[in-house]
Structure 1
């Protein structure tokens, strides 16, 4: 399970579990009622009907208990320093997580949100944000590196070659071809990335391979692939021209 859980996701998981057991209990109850009602001449099925009724009471009681757990989910607001939107999380946020509104990673250190600073790109004049945890900054619009001043006098860190700006005008599509054991983390990541609900994402995972995005730059495809790989997502990207063949 991820360290940072959104209150809405926890409520959705609990609700799904309650609905599942509730539906199962109703099915058992209907079957038990039929066995008792239409017992036949010998009444041999009546004991089985009462056994099923007992199971129905237990399972239905558990579904009600599970549904009541929703009231115990208390969300703690974490304000995004970029867009100032409150993100409701369960417990303390002890690692970076993406904002539900702007999808930027909220920098967290020791449970506290770090302040962010603003800087304009020297190439396109786009406003960008960075925090103390930012080691290398790429412009969100043109993907050029923005040099950051270091107060401690330490040398600037260079961007790895895989993240350097490449003049590639081709459009790509991003495909999810498989996933590992971190399915719950992958579901939450895809929910935020694609703005889909939990059931839609689960349906996608059962229909692999599936196209996640089309018409994106190579740089964005590489970033999204790296993000999904953290959650055991097996991702490929290819040029739109190649996808036609």
Structure 2
């Protein structure tokens, strides 16, 4: 049974927030609110006009030095908090434990944003009260960490998971155009019949994947999404990978 849910995603990377907005559009029962700073996010949580049911947060810190997730936890005892950050568990363990975060997902891990989407979708799809749908505190964080480590050991950015490397983006053309041309060549999938924009916001994807500084690779980012009968993966190394969607569901 689905119900309306307001999710706040706080991240200082506008590209990540744009990608998040595109991803969360897949969940009809979710309204996504975004914030580009810890102060903005805390203002939204504190506002009487906006009820936030769930927080997805990067490792943001308020001007007074307090971690955003800790400040939110002080205001909301039972709100689910997903710590979604590029930092390793060892770097955030203290803050995550103090804030009693519900889950930890590391950016650049297999499925990263898709995994966050799945966690939030579980809240939406569960008919019980939000407070009883999630395991709180360190046990849930530990479970997420174990899952993440297992996935990483099983695959280095997807290459060991029966993916086919079907193309390479060198940065000199629009990423969306390269993806379409690559998939058309690989699978004969018509971009007219299957518009790519219905599956992914390519501008947001390119903003996330493209290096911040020319000539420097943005290491370790991988984004996965369905397109036609395939699941695609695009990495910050420019690799474009594909596998049948049925394989991705098993």
Give the TM-score of the pair, scaled to structure 1. Answer: 0.28
Higher relative CO (CA 8 A, sep ≥ 6), structure 1 or 2? 2
Q: Which is greater in Rg? A: 1
